[in-house]
Amino acid sequence: MPEFYHPSGKFSPPAIILIPLVTSVMASILGIVYAYVTWYNPIIYLGVIFPLAYAYGVYYCSSWVLKITPVRNNVLAFFLFFFGGLIGYVFHALVWLNLFIHQTEQFYSLGSGSNAIGFVVSTVNWRVLFTEVFNLDYSINYLLMVIDKGAWTIIGHEVKGLPYRVIWLAEFLIFSVSLAVLCRNEARKPFCETLGQYLQKTTMPHLLRVPNELDQLKYKFEQGEYGYVMIAPIEPNSRYNHLIIDLYYLDEVDDAYLTVTLVTHVKNKKEETKLIEYAGIPKIQADQLIKRFGEGVPASPY
């Protein structure tokens, strides 16, 4: 039975400052774009997608800092990125507040009658924005007043009061928790304490067809039976049930791990099930996988 990787709980002391700093800067920069997108978004239902996209964008632009200041403590990684995201989100909210304050009388509407949706034209006054940043206490109180007294008109119906405040809170939580979880998952990938670096993630360049006995597949992997890995490759995007295998590997160390995800197609719907995650694999078998599938295995950017 394979041994699974468990983070050591250690961390690089500079991470306590560097991770929130980098994350807050990235979240602030992307927060400007996010503020404009949410202000000019006439379709309220897209409001669920935008904070997720914002979170992924910040994750993509800031998780590289883990290579400089590694963190192998899941809880610490979560809160460091959460705190950095919180700072960036506050700046985003101030940009949105600036748009609210400087809205014009220009209004564009899509549709007509009670089903019409639209937006008010506005732009950021950067001088006022930096004044808001340096007078943070007043700005946040003003923003809270706008949230408390504000309203949205959705298909002819006004949303205000507690539901409006809940929408703001939900948007913040979707962004901040998604960002923290994404970055925490990045931090908990296999790490070599000796070399002080994360193992290189490589994804097998072929998708592997699996047998019909899917109920036994997870059990066999958990028992360390990797014979199923050596099945003939099939074409990417095939509608056959297949495996996606990520190998965590460094030439300089003996430790190697793999993550196996099963992709199934049921009634034209693709589903992914993680069979095992970060299971130890003998170095000789890892070498065989690399040899079998070639050295041109694409590496993860992180």
Residues 166-176 pLDDT 10s: 888 888 999 99
86 compared with 241, residue with greater pLDDT = 86
User: What was the pLDDT predicted at 183?
Assistant: 95
Least confident range of 52-56, 71-75, 188-192, 245-249:
245-249
| 296 pLDDT above the threshold of 70 | no
Residue 208 in contact with residue 297, Cβ under 8 Å? no
pTM exceeding 0.85:
no
- Poorest-confidence range of 16-30, 37-51, 272-286, 287-301? 287-301
Give the pLDDT mean for 246-263.
88
pLDDT in tens, 200-248: 988 876 666 676 666 677 777 777 776 666 556 666 566 677 788 889 9
159 compared with 75, residue with greater pLDDT: 75
Q: Which two tokens stand for residue 62?
A: 């800031």
151 has a pLDDT exceeding 80: no
pLDDT at residue 217, rounded to an integer: 74
Q: Which residues of 157-189 are buried (b: 16+ CB within 10 A; e: fewer)?
A: eeeeeeebeeebeebbebbbebbbbbbbebbbb
- On whether the CB atoms of residues 94 and 137 are closer than 8 A, the answer is no
Indicate left, alpha or beta for 155 from its phi (over 0: left) and psi (-120 to 50: alpha). Answer: left
pLDDT of 262 strictly over 80: yes
Inform me whether the pLDDT recorded for 162 exceeds 80: no
Q: Which residue from 286, 263, 272 is spatially nearest to 190, judged by alpha carbons?
A: 286
CB neighbour class for 221 (10 Å; exposed up to 12, middle 13-18, buried from 19) = buried
Please tell me the predicted confidence (pLDDT) of residue 267. Answer: 74
Q: In whole angstroms, give the CA distance from residue 237 to residue 180.
A: 30
Average pLDDT, the chain: 81
- For the chain, give the percent of residues with pLDDT over 70: 77
